């Protein structure tokens, strides 16, 4: 059976919640509420955190670094986002660590208003002078935008007009023809295609950049030092969410429908099909050194990270390795 049919069938399923009492309440900050974080939502829905004695609240903070700051100021236990934020913090004297991988591809796509996309792969020539709507400065989509502009020999201050804003505003500006190009991710990508706000992507970051530590779960090093058992339980829950998403895509689709109840069924199915096809989600929760190398290269070349930061200064895989070794 084709995956899309499996996903459609799964939208009718009800996900059961294990009746396990939670002991510790924690907050996970996210920069947006998107399908890219589905394995995390699965872990919450299926009670995997509760199995580890944790009650999780997801807090959406839609700004470039708000989710990171929530962890640094102890308003949140963890944030989901690029581990380059840990490097930014390291450069300022703070210690954060990525402890489990979720999105192992650069979850962004470049789209153009209908009929106005490039006719070849000379993206530098195409984008020069264009109005580009992307995420806030400091966020990973913005970093990728600046990195690509640099690769295409374009100055973000002189050669293009960057509109750094929210996901909703990107959609609105493209729809109102106030931007020529948008940098988007699912589910907004599919919604824009179906509503003819933009064409199918002309640049697929997941395929073009390959393995990329794009969205990891990041915590204070202090949490690792003070309560490693809780951290291991946290990592285990995400690991189970990843496994469930890959092994039970129909049931994961049902959970996605609950997270995005107003999204049209065909849009949701197309979104999930694209995510699986582009191998968006990590299969084992590990963050490879190569995945950090490309993530670091993006922010270094974009001029956002000013100093070199080693893998071991921002990533700690001890818990994930322990969990995998025990299987």
Whether residue 294 is predicted with pLDDT greater than 50 in this model: the reply is: yes
* pLDDT value at residue 198: 98
What is the per-residue pLDDT for 264? Answer: 85
**In this predicted structure, what is the pLDDT of residue 186?**
87
Contact 107, 280 (CB under 8 A): yes
- Whole-angstrom Cα distance, residue 102 to residue 81? 9
Residue 9: its pLDDT value, please? 52
Look at residue 138 in the predicted model and tell me its pLDDT.
80
Summarised one tens digit per residue, pLDDT across range 296-327 is: 999 998 888 999 999 999 999 999 999 999 97
- As a whole-number percent, the residues of the chain with pLDDT over 90 amount to 80
Name the residue ranges covered by the structural domains of the chain. Answer: 3-106+210-326, 109-209
Predicted confidence band of residue 140 (pLDDT cuts 50, 70, 90): confident
Mean pLDDT of the chain: 91
Residue 65 has pLDDT above 90, yes or no: no
d(CA 59, CA 67): 8
Domains 3-106+210-326 and 109-209 share a fold: yes
Q: Quick one: pLDDT at residue 62?
A: 82
Average pLDDT over residues 119-129: 97
Q: How confident is the model at residue 66 (pLDDT cuts 50, 70, 90)?
A: confident
What's the pLDDT score for residue 18? 46
For the domain spanning 3-106+210-326, the CATH number is 3.40.190.10
CB neighbour class for 284 (10 Å; exposed up to 12, middle 13-18, buried from 19) = middle
pLDDT of 5 > 80? The answer is no
Tell me what the mean pLDDT of segment 98-112 comes to: 96
- pLDDT tens digits for 168-183? 999 999 999 999 999 9
CATH of domain 109-209: 3.40.190.10
d(Cα 17, Cα 252) in Å, to the nearest integer?
A: 14
What are the distances in angstroms from CA 182 to CA 19, 95, 143, 144, 167?
Answer: 43, 33, 14, 12, 10
């Amino acid at each position: 059976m084709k995956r899309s049919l499996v996903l459609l069938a799964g939208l009718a399923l009800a996900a059961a919640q294990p009746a396990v009492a939670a002991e510790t309440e924690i907050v996970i900050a996210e920069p947006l509420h998107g399908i890219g974080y589905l394995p995390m939502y699965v872990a919450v829905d299926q009670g995997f955190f509760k199995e580890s004695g944790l009650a999780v609240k997801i807090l959406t903070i839609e700004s470039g670094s708000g989710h990171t700051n929530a962890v640094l100021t102890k308003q949140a236990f963890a944030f989901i986002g690029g581990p380059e934020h840990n490097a930014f913090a390291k450069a300022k004297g703070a210690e954060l660590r990525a402890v489990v991988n979720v999105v192992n591809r650069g979850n962004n796509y470049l789209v153009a208003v209908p009929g106005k996309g490039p006719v070849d792969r000379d993206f530098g020539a195409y984008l020069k002078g264009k109005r580009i709507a992307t995420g806030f400065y400091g966020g990973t989509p913005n970093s990728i935008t600046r990195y690509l502009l640099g690769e295409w020999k374009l100055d973000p201050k002189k050669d293009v007009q960057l509109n750094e804003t929210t996901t909703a505003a990107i959609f609105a500006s493209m729809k109102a023809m106030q931007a020529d190009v948008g940098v988007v991710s699912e589910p907004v990508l599919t919604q824009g295609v179906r509503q003819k706000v933009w064409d199918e992507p002309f640049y697929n970051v997941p395929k073009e950049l390959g393995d990329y530590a794009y969205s990891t779960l990041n915590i204070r090093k202090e949490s690792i030092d003070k309560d490693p058992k809780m951290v291991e339980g946290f990592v285990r829950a995400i690991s189970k969410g990843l496994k469930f998403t890959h092994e039970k895509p129909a049931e994961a689709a049902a959970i996605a429908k609950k997270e995005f109840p107003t999204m049209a069924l065909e849009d949701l199915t197309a979104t999930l099909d694209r995510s699986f096809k582009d191998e968006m989600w990590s299969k084992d929760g590990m963050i490879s050194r190569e995945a950090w190398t490309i993530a670091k290269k993006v922010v270094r070349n974009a001029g956002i990270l000013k100093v070199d930061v080693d893998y071991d200064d921002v990533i700690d895989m001890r818990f994930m390795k322990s969990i995998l070794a025990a299987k």
